[in-house]
Amino acid sequence: MQRLEARRGVEEQHFLARRARSHSYNPPVDLRLVDYVSSYDPNLMCPICRCPFVDPVVLAECGHCFCRECIRQSWNTQTTTYTPHGPHGDCPSCRTPARLRPRSTTNNILINMTDELIVRCPKSDEGCKAEVKRGEVQDHVNIYCGFTLVECGADHCELPVRRKDVAQGCLHYGVSCLSCRKELDKCNLDCHWRNDCPARQTECAVCKSMVFPRDLAEHSSTACAAISVPCPGAALGCSNRSTGAQARTHADTCMLAKLAPILTTQHERLEEQEAAQKQMSRKLEVLEDGFTTIQSILSPFSSDNMVDKLGTDPAPGPRPTDLPGPYSADFDLDAPASFSAPNTSAGPYASPLHHLLHMHESLRDEISRISSALSELDGRHSMQNLNENLRTREEISYIGAQLGGLQRQVHWLTSAQLHRQQAGRSPTPGSATSAGTAITDATSGAGVEAALGAVNTAATALRGAARMVNVGGREASGMRRGASEEGRTKL
């Protein structure tokens, strides 16, 4: 009896181990990833996952239906507190507060409707052509599908094998593919030949010819004999469409098809020439602008007019006699419009025009440098003024706080003095003493009122100074900005 119990325990352990290995080989089927044979009613689709319902649940508060797992995940992302009645939250469709209830008759009806949908086996990409109801697909994979992985029947092997190959014995030995000569296990040869072998040929569904899978897309679009293709000269006006050998024969006789490559090449060259022409036009515009600027500088003025202009200019430049050698050797100020022949021995430039272009570029670089320096200086001044204004405002705030405290103390003294005056006005037996006290209180009250007026005057002056500091800072910034813009405009 003990031996039988021990043997039964060993068999149970082996059975549980095989079952655990089979579960690891074939995970549970995800019903959201299966392929449906035909279209289904859109009313059976979950608004969250956009798939047919999986374990549907109807919210009693609003009547909307969702997958139980989808609505749980939707409510878990919301900030909801725990309640003993189960998960709760807002309906994703109408935002009505609802909670998850147990399964009802309506849920069972929806489950039966969705389980009747016909789907393909999850192993269809491996070769299984079975089409079963969605409610039976898990049983099909676990029990009937021949492409499901199970434990190898050999005693010494623990590797998985397909259910349809169990009767062949252990298939975990090396073989070579006859087409591509790739080394792999015998149990994986069928899958390799079906999906991965690069030397395998498949049949075209239209023309029934054998082509390689890597060339199937190109064959279906251009080379398939059963598909009509347009003439190569369709862009030039040929409207002929033919199939296979007829298309090649027409291409050999059509003049537009023969001209199409030549015209295409010419069109590409024209586009390149247009792009180069646009670039040259932009360069020419830049050179014309520079030449116009040079002509405006070298306008035909006489020497007397030039001297008068230099004499009346508030900020005259250097005299012509003070200019360095290359300026006087390259052109004449009396006749600036007529350039002399280039003199290579007189200066380092090939011609006066080259000299002027060099001057123009030098002036442009210098103006750019001065502009950047002015911008940097303006930024430094602005930062310095900002720091000064901040420090001044802090000091004014501190003084204002001190004046506020002094003003409160003066108010307190004034209120105390007023209380004494009111108490002194009441009739008392000692009239002389009361009169003396009143005179003293009046004198003290006048002094307090004078101090209060001085404090108010100081506070008003302090506010005016703060406003002047703010306005002065803005005006100074505006003046500097205006001066900077004016200097840039002049440059």
Compute the distance between CA of residue 411 and CA of residue 286 in angstroms, rounded to an integer. 76
The gap from C-alpha 116 to its chain's centroid, in whole angstroms, comes to 45
Compute the distance between CA of residue 381 and CA of residue 375 in angstroms, rounded to an integer. 10
Low-confidence spans in the chain with pLDDT less than 50:
301-347, 428-440, 479-481, 483-491
List C-alpha distances in Å: 338 to 16, 410, 479. 108, 88, 45
Burial category of 433 from C-beta neighbours within 10 Å (exposed 0-12, middle 13-18, buried 19 and up): exposed
Evaluated on CA atoms 299, 303, 305, 308, the torsion sign reads: positive
pLDDT at position 488 is 41
CB 180 within 8 A of CB 197: yes
pLDDT in tens, 86-139: 678 888 889 888 888 877 777 888 888 999 999 999 888 888 888 999 989 988
Looking at residue 133, what DSSP letter applies? Answer: E
pLDDT at position 166 is 76
> Biggest alpha carbon distance in the chain?
143
